Amino acid sequence: MGMPNIPNINPTINLKNEDIVNLLLASIALEEFSLAAILNSEAEKIQQLLEGRCQANLQDMIALNKSVNKMLKDIIKKEILLEFKFENILDLIELQND
């Protein structure tokens, strides 16, 4: 999966409101893409353990569980921030349409 293309921005910033909204939405999409990659890597860790591809004792399993749990909490926090950002963009769009 390739990275999305973002338009070139020259040093003299000359953007229309529509362009600004599109760039803000693209920034959210890129962050969501990154979070999905992190979630996938966490799932792969668990899958390796469950399929027996690595030797793990109870302590290792508990440590992995704590690590994945912390990462999921951090991802949830980031998702909340992205939701706030998205709501602000919706407000900006609403202001433009008034």
Which pLDDT score is estimated for 72?
97
CB atoms under 10 Å from CB of 45, counted, come to: 14
Domain count, the chain: 1
**Structure token digits, residue 36:** 């999905």
Distance, CA of 31 to CA of 19 (rounded, Å): 18
Degrees (nearest 5) of the Cα angle 92, 37, 18? 20
Is residue 19 domain-resident? no
Phi/psi at 93 (5° precision): -60, -40
Is residue 13 domain-resident? no
Is residue 86 domain-resident? yes
pTM over 0.85: no
Is residue 74 domain-resident? yes
Which pLDDT score is estimated for 1?
60
Is residue 60 domain-resident? yes
Is residue 11 domain-resident? no
Q: Which of 38, 46, 47 has the alpha carbon at shortest distance from 63?
A: 46
Is residue 4 domain-resident? no
Domain range for 56 is 24-97
The per-residue pLDDT string of the chain (98 residues; one tens digit each, 9 = 90 and over) reads 677 787 776 667 788 888 999 999 999 999 999 999 999 999 999 999 888 888 888 898 999 999 999 999 999 999 999 999 999 999 999 988 87
CA of residue 82 relative to chain centroid, distance:
8
Is residue 18 domain-resident? no
